[in-house]
Amino acid sequence: MAIDRKAGPAGPRERALERGATAVAHPNIALIKYWGKSDERLVIPYVDSLSMTLDVFPTVTTVRLTPGEPSDTVSLDGAPAVGEPLRRVIDFLELIRELSGRIEPAAVDTRNAVPTGAGLASSASGFAALALAGVTAYGVDLDATALSRLARRGSASASRSVFGGFALCHAGRGIGAAADLSSYAEPVPVTDFDPALVIALVDAGPKAVSSRAAMRRTVETSPLYQAWTISSKGDLLDMRAALHRGDLEAVGEIAERNALGMHATMLAARPAVRYLSPGTLAVLDSVLQLRADGIPAYATMDAGPNVKVLCHRAHADRVAETVSGAAPGCSTVIARRGPGARLRAEAEE
């Protein structure tokens, strides 16, 4: 539906179409990881995953329709996006245009408070924010499940950043359209559990191998991959029970073994995918030392060298001090559970 400019004062929907929409989303860190896709085009994960959305490093994304322009334009942290990042955003906008029935291109402005591509889940906050700003700008009304399903098409972990607190992403059942329909995230109600997650920034540079390429190589060549997907099912059951009890030690132990298992599958890929650096291992040693000293602290790592350490809030400063001293140049940020994706009101802009 085109905007009729002679029809008197614009309503909120028309104003959104003209002015665009801005959304804010936060990264999440998986306590039970997703690694590997059964369908790359539809972005269907092989395994269920469970994460905590953080209260740090938001992505703020504005999408504005630009009728009359020849194509989409994308600005990433103030510079025009090119290559693969540009193509991923344009492909995602195509999905939203299909849903909306509109054909206008859009201008996208996205800003990350986290270094992009360093395994700190910028794609999770990025595609969650883009999904919400995009559907709003194009006038598509989606419920949270459908929004999460859409965000998954950008990046499976983004499906979880639609929600605050803890979220479970279903791997989905079947193939094709059935898998697409059944793969989405939903909140996991957890009442008495509000830990700290100390993010140890070992190296904030972009990763050497994209997670897409690394996943494909792991699935296709790692003899350990199937074993990990099976053990991950048990980890998820144990994790849900531990979260329900608010048992930090159990949550941490399960998260740590699940993450190390995922990295083991990558190390066994041919050729190996190795995101863990000497700095990562030094931080892991310091986490073991903290435990030996009676401080419950547990590590998890994603597609990059940085380490996230789960601990009680009361221990967060001590944990941050210890891990930042473990590796040269290592800095830390203390995060807690954070909110789901939301639209930013005009007054906040």
Q: In the complex, which residues of this chain contact ligand PMV (CB under 6 A)?
A: 30, 33-35, 49, 123-124, 155-157, 211, 302-303
Q: Choose between 171 and 319: whose C-beta lies nearer to ligand PMV.
A: 171
Token digits of residue 349? 């802009």
Q: Choose between 16 and 309: whose C-beta lies nearer to ligand PMV.
A: 309
In whole angstroms, the minimum distance from the beta carbon of 130 to ligand PMV comes to 13
In whole angstroms, the minimum distance from the beta carbon of 314 to ligand PMV comes to 27
φ/ψ of 157, rounded to 5, equals -65, -25
Q: Choose between 102 and 308: whose C-beta lies nearer to ligand PMV.
A: 308
In whole angstroms, the minimum distance from the beta carbon of 26 to ligand PMV comes to 13
Q: Which residues contact 292 (CB under 8 A, 6 or more apart)?
A: none
Q: State the Cα angle at 304 between 128 and 318, rounded to 5°.
A: 95
Q: Choose between 126 and 279: whose C-beta lies nearer to ligand PMV.
A: 126
Q: Report the amino acid identity of residue 262.
A: M
In whole angstroms, the minimum distance from the beta carbon of 317 to ligand PMV comes to 26
Q: Choose between 239 and 303: whose C-beta lies nearer to ligand PMV.
A: 303
In whole angstroms, the minimum distance from the beta carbon of 124 to ligand PMV comes to 6
